[in-house]
Structure 1
Amino acid sequence: MNVLVTGAGGFIGKNLIERLNREEDVSVSQYHHGDDLSLLYEHLTDTDVIYHLAGVNRPQNNEEFASVNRGLTETIITYLKEHHKTPKIVFSSSTQAERDTPYGSSKKAAEEVLKNYSLKTGADVTIYRLPGVFGKWSRPHYNSVVATFCHELAHGRDIDIHDVNQPLELVYIDDVVDSFTDCLDQHKTDETLYYPINQSFHTTVGELAKKLYEIRDIRTSLIIPNLSDKLTKCLYTTYLSYLDPDNFSYNLPAHQDERGSLVELVKSRHAGQIFMSTSRQGVIRGNHYHHTKVEKFCVIKGAADIHLRKIGSDEVITYTISDQNIEIVDIPPGYTHSIENITDHEITVLFWANELFDPDNPDTIRLRVKPDER
């Protein structure tokens, strides 16, 4: 199958082409802004599907709206008609087509060209009126408010908001690409031209900003937002794509004492927290129990004995674990427990707790596993 993508160098185009290049039996041709029309005609001569993404939304003058958004569409359709070709066409329009603006009018005019072509030739035309599209490779101060907000926050600048209650409809780039690529194998059984993206999100500018500030602050708060919410997950992914390459890593504070160190790694109000510790030779940590908090222990460097004793019982249970056979030990509630370095060097242990540590209600009661131990 031969596929042509116009606007191949744009935000949606780059993401779509990456996906199409992974599809079996699909050969992709690209038409970029500034390419000669002769190249476009060459591609149109032998194409089965056209993804018509080329367009402008922030030109230097309003005349470009008509010349590009409508004009290029007319050029493509004129060529196809003259050469009696009816490839499938997938067109990225905009919800702005419903508004009386230069941009909206130009998108609406392009839609009409395509609808007339489909009506007269029977060609398969699919039109997506896209709301704000966001995701990796989106151009800030051009493609979407999400791109602009992410770029500013990732570069240490606050964002300006004029109306926190302004509603937003957003679609994620992967959902757009999924919908577009679904068209490769779909065969219409009716005359429907307009189709929605598989999933869209409805929020406000204020809520968007709030989520992105929480995402930015993860490096200091360590609190991961609720990523089971798909919009939040997609915003987190998008935000990271705007970090400069020299800013991918960040330091975490280590709490040092005579036993070793403790570093908190990740926190979540929904899934607890992950932290790690180092312990010097002979160090025993713990000797406490919890009523509701539960933990998981995993030795990732060295070896340790994990001792547990159910409160009210004299029986001590011991698990010896090491980095030679990575395993996790669950720490149930009501069991006092400790972890002892049994090597002659420092060990490293990874911990998970099912809740964040609350100094006002720590749910941690001191009690030795081995009462006679010093």
Structure 2
Amino acid sequence: MKILLTGAGGFLGWHTRVRLDALTDHEVTAVTRENWDSLGTLAQGCDAIIHIAGINRASDEEVEQGNLQLATDVAAAARQASVGRIVYANSIQAEKDNPYGRGKAAAARALGDSGCEVVDVLLPNLFGEYGRPGYNSFVATFAHAVAQDAPPAEVNDNPIGLLHVQDAAQVLIDALTGATGQLRPEAHQTTVVEVLDKLKSYRETYRTGDIPALLTDFDVNLFNTLRGALFPQSYPIALTPHADDRGRLVETVRSHGGQGQTFVSTTRPGITRGEHYHLGKIERFVVLGGKARISLRKVFGDDVIDFEVDGENPVAIDMPTLWIHNITNIGETELLTQFWTHTLFDPENPDTFWQKVRPHEEADK
């Protein structure tokens, strides 16, 4: 299936694009502000459109009329290209009488007039990795503040429903097939203060590399959100060797929830392992012998971050979700590396998606 994805450079759009790339064989054409004027041409030959592009930070009139205009453009492009289905990333705010809600509701009506099958997905408040603080979500704002050890002293507490951005992306992808109409994904019910308290607790536990107890999917997703805000400035995490006349001991993973799987590998000089990314898995690398370069690149990004590590001074580097990563033996002796993941390996759902950190260079797996 050929998919046109609008808003591909935004928070939900980027996550949806990554998930489409990881889990489907769909051909995806990404639409951003830069190529919006070519929307009609880009829609040619597409089977469906996932419409995420929106305006939520502007004057009241720009928010209301801008969301309607974006949908009007999409509807026109869909008619011209005879697109079969539009999946619309709407908001529960569409049921409220405010500029954003009125704009989103009007956009839904405009898409309904396109002549396409339409799936209207009313999304709750979203949170997740790499949200912009002060823009995408209060969770992003809190996570970045906690990561900088500057959490707000007081907040106004309110109950709130939250949906992880990857779960929202999956709802949009699933809606490419099946029934049309309106969908309302279920949110996790929490409070503003509970979110902040969890983030602060995670930060204190994780400060020395300990993994906090992650008892629910919401806990894992919130912790990954914090890890995204901490990367790369808080890595590597220094570990403390304990030595005596018998040798040396290094506590590489202390998981307060007791989860996980540990394994050890050896790597010959010059060889690279990895070249993949994970959607949700928490993974730790600790080099215990030899010298290595650990390299990471955000999915669809260009910049590569390198860490050079030595088993003589053990450190932990945890792989952020949605970053492609590898490890290369850059020494002259065999490399000894311990790996830990917070879940047991499941061959039916490995959460491992192969790409190269440096796609234009040859590397051994």
TM-score (norm. length: structure 1): 0.63
Q: Structure 1 residue 156: deviation in Å?
A: 2.3
- CA contact 2:155–2:193 (8 Å) conserved in 1: no
CA–CA separation in structure 2 for the residues paired with 1:28 and 1:86: 14
Deviation by residue 1:107-128 (Cα, 9 ceiling, x = unmatched):
11111222344xxx3x321111
CA–CA separation in structure 1 for the residues paired with 2:192 and 2:241: 37
2:197 is aligned with what amino acid? K
Deviation by residue 1:258-286 (Cα, 9 ceiling, x = unmatched):
76666555445543999xxxxxxxxxxxx
1:193 is aligned with what amino acid? G
Q: Structure 1 residue 12: deviation in Å?
A: 1.1
Q: Structure 1 residue 78: deviation in Å?
A: 3.1
1:92 match: 89
1:51 matches 2:18: no
Q: Secondary structure at the match of 2:215?
A: coil
1:173 is aligned with what amino acid? V
1:49 is aligned with what amino acid? A
Q: Secondary structure at the match of 1:227?
A: coil
1:206 match: 193
CA–CA separation in structure 2 for the residues paired with 1:258 and 1:232: 41
2:161 match: 169
CA–CA separation in structure 2 for the residues paired with 1:222 and 1:43: 46
Q: Structure 1 residue 244: deviation in Å?
A: 3.7
1:271 match: 258
Q: Structure 1 residue 196: deviation in Å?
A: 2.7
1:175 is aligned with what amino acid? D
Matches within 5 A, 1:100-119: 100-117=97-114
**Whose RCO is larger (CA < 8 A, sep 6+)?**
2
CA–CA separation in structure 2 for the residues paired with 1:78 and 1:245: 43
Q: Structure 1 residue 160: deviation in Å?
A: 4.8
Q: Secondary structure at the match of 2:55?
A: coil
1:234 matches 2:221: yes
2:73 match: 75
Per the alignment, do residues 226 and 129 of structure 1 end up closer, same or farther by CA in structure 2, a change over 3 Å counting?
Answer: same
Q: Structure 1 residue 230: deviation in Å?
A: 1.1
1:187 matches 2:196: no
- CA contact 2:92–2:124 (8 Å) conserved in 1: yes
Q: Structure 1 residue 73: deviation in Å?
A: 0.5
Q: Structure 1 residue 23: deviation in Å?
A: 5.1
- CA contact 1:98–1:104 (8 Å) conserved in 2: yes
Deviation by residue 1:223-262 (Cα, 9 ceiling, x = unmatched):
5333231111111111111124242222244566676666
CA–CA separation in structure 2 for the residues paired with 1:220 and 1:145: 22
- CA contact 1:93–1:129 (8 Å) conserved in 2: yes
- CA contact 1:161–1:205 (8 Å) conserved in 2: no
Aligned Cα RMSD in Å? 3.0
Q: Structure 1 residue 76: deviation in Å?
A: 2.1
Which blocks of at least 5 consecutive residues in structure 2 are unaligned?
262-287, 290-337, 339-365
Q: Secondary structure at the match of 1:72?
A: helix
Q: Structure 1 residue 47: deviation in Å?
A: 1.3
- CA contact 1:52–1:90 (8 Å) conserved in 2: yes
1:196 is aligned with what amino acid? R
CA–CA separation in structure 1 for the residues paired with 2:96 and 2:233: 42
CA–CA separation in structure 2 for the residues paired with 1:233 and 1:43: 37
Which blocks of at least 5 consecutive residues in structure 1 are unaligned?
275-299, 302-349, 351-374
1:178 matches 2:170: yes
Q: How many residues align?
A: 266
CA–CA separation in structure 2 for the residues paired with 1:238 and 1:251: 21
Q: Structure 1 residue 52: deviation in Å?
A: 0.4
- CA contact 2:215–2:257 (8 Å) conserved in 1: no
1:143 is aligned with what amino acid? N
Larger C-alpha radius of gyration, 1 or 2?
Answer: 1
2:206 match: 219
CA–CA separation in structure 1 for the residues paired with 2:259 and 2:104: 48
2:168 is aligned with what amino acid? V
1:55 is aligned with what amino acid? G
Q: Secondary structure at the match of 1:21?
A: helix
